[in-house]
Chains A and B, each alone.
Chain A
C-alpha cells in the first residue's frame, strides 16, 4: 500500500479513513462487491427469516405469516410441556449415544485396516466410500422393505429363522428393535466419509514417530494407544462434533423408515421430525409453534458449536503444552 504523506496533503480525517477503507486501487471495494451477492442470499434466506420466525413464535400464527393474535410465551410453554417434544430430545440423546461412538470406531477401524494393506487400497477405499453417494431415501427403502422388513421375506428375518429364531417386527415400535435398523443404515451411509477424514488425519502423523516406537518395541495395541490415538486427537474431536451435529439434524431416514401416507408413529421421533410434524407436516400449518421450536433447537445447536470451539481450543492449548 502506498504510504500516505500527511505533511504535503492535509487530508481531512474522513478522507484518509476512506482511503484506507477502499484499499490500494480500490481493491477492498471490489472484494466487498464480490461478497455482496452471497451476502444478499444469507440475509434474505437465513437472517431475516430467523428474525421473522422468532417474531412469529410469540403469535398464534396458524396458516398465516402475518399474525395478529399475540400469545406471548404460550408457544414455548406448550412445547416445553409437550411430552412428545421432550421425547424427541430423548430420541436424539439415545441416537447420538449410539451413532457417534459407533461411527467413530468403525471409521477408524476401516482407516487402520486400509492403511496397512499393501495392495488394493484404492479399490477397498472406493467400496467403503461409495455409499456416501446414496440418498437416505433410497437407503431407507432398502432397509425398510428388504433388509429389515417385518414380514417373513425380509433378509434379516429369513436369516433369523434359519438360525432358529422368530420373525421380528423391526420397525413396529413395540420393542427397541428399530434402533439396529436406524443405526446400521446411517453407519452404512456415513462411515466411508469419516474414514476418509481419519485417513487424512493418520497421514499427518509423522512416520518417524512410528519408527521410533517400533525401535522401542511398541507393537499393535500399544502403538495405537500411545502413538496413534494421542496424535489423532484434533481429528477425533472434530469428527465427534460433526457426527453429533449430523445426528441432531437426522430427518430423512427416520421420515422414510417410519412414516406412511401422511402419518408418523409417536415413537422414534427425532427433534426435526417432530418439529416438521407439528409445524408444516399436518393439514394446517402452525408457524408460531414451528418458530418457537426453531428458536429452542437453534439455541441447542449453537451451544454445541460453542462447545466444539471450546473443546478444540482446549486440545490445541494442551498440544502446545
Chain B
C-alpha cells in the first residue's frame, strides 16, 4: 500500500511502543516476584532496588507455617469453593440457557425477563439482601453460604443462550424424532458440540470465584477464609512481613494464571461473545 520508508518507520515506532507498554504491564508481576524473594530490609531500603542485592528463598516454608496468614487452609478453601461453584454454575446455566433458547412461548419471555433483570442488577449491588437471606438460612461461615447464593449466574445463562440460539436445531430434531427425550438430545447432541463456550464460561467463572472478595468478606468468619481474604487481612495486620505477604500473593496468582494461559483461546472467544452481540 503506502510506500516504503515512512511505513517502515511507523512499524518500528509501533514495536517500540508495544515493547514499552508490555514492560509496564509486566512490572506489577515482577514486583510480586521481587518482593516475595527479597529480605524485608531490601524492600524497605531507602532506595527502590529493581534487582535486589540479595535474594532470599527461605520465605516459602515460613509462609506456609505462618499461623497468622493461615495460607494452607485458605488455599484449600479457595480451591474447593472455586471448583464447586464453577461446576454448579455451568450445569445450572447450561440447562437454563438451553431452555431460554428453545422456549418460544410466554413462559420463555417471562423467564428471559427475570434473567435480564438480574443481569442488570449485579450481585455486588444487592449484597445486603443476599446476606439477609444467607443469614436466615444459617449459612454464615460455611461452604454452602459461600457457594450456593452466588452460583446462579445470569451472565453464564445468557452466554449459553446466545450459543444455543445459533445451534442448528435439525440435529436435535433428528434425535427427537428417533424417540430420544429432550434431555437425551440436549446431553448427547447439543452439549458435546458446544464445549468451546463451556470452557470459556468455566474459565471466567473460575477466575471470578477464585478472585472474589466482597461476598467472602461478608459470609466468612474464621473457618472458611479464602486466599483473597487471608491476604487482605494479613496486609493490614500489625507486624506484616512483606516477603511472606507477596509470596502468598504469588501462590494465589499462580493457579489463575495457569488456567488463564492454558484456556486463553477459549477465554478470548468467550469475551468476544459476551460483550457485544
Contact = CB atoms under 8 A, between A and B. Distances in A.
**Do A and B bind?**
yes
B95 A37 contact: yes
B114 A39 contact: yes
Contact of A31 (B93, B103, B118, B152): B103
Interface residues of A, number: 103
Nearest to B94: A34
A137 B253 CA distance: 11
A152 B46 CA distance: 6
A260 interface: yes
A137 B213 contact: yes
Interface in A12-47: 20-21, 23, 25, 27-28, 30-32, 34-35, 37-39, 41-42, 44-47
A197 B114 contact: no
Contact of B126 (A158, A242, A294): A294
Contact of B272 (A196, A256, A279): A196
A89 B102 CA distance: 42
Interface in A247-279: 248-249, 251-252, 255-256, 259-261, 272, 275-276, 279
Given A25-B176, A35-B96, A298 B126 contact: yes
Given A49-B130, A151-B44, A280-B131, A42 B115 contact: yes
Contact of B210 (A25, A53, A128, A135): A135
A256 B182 contact: no
Interface string A123-142: 01011111111111111111
A118 B8 CA distance: 11
B100 interface: yes
Interface string B227-248: 0100110011110001001100
A65 interface: yes
Contacts of B100: 35
A126 B152 CA distance: 30
Interface in B10-54: 10-11, 14-15, 17-18, 21-22, 25-29, 31-32, 35, 43-48
B28 A65 contact: no
B130 A200 contact: no
Contacts of A151: 44
B249 A201 contact: no
A155 B27 CA distance: 11
A35 B94 CA distance: 9
Interface in A193-251: 193, 196-197, 200-201, 214, 219, 234-235, 238-239, 242, 245, 248-249, 251
Interface of A: 20-21, 23, 25, 27-28, 30-32, 34-35, 37-39, 41-42, 44-50, 52-53, 56, 65, 110, 113-114, 116-118, 120, 124, 126-147, 151-155, 158-159, 188, 192-193, 196-197, 200-201, 214, 219, 234-235, 238-239, 242, 245, 248-249, 251-252, 255-256, 259-261, 272, 275-276, 279-280, 287, 290-291, 293-294, 297-298, 301-302, 305
Given A25-B182, A127-B25, A143-B28, 12 more contacts: A28-B103, A32-B103, A34-B182, A41-B152, A42-B154, A52-B132, A124-B22, A130-B25, A130-B257, A131-B25, A245-B122, A287-B128
12 contacts: A27-B102, A28-B105, A31-B98, A32-B107, A35-B99, A52-B129, A114-B18, A127-B22, A134-B211, A200-B271, A280-B128, A298-B125
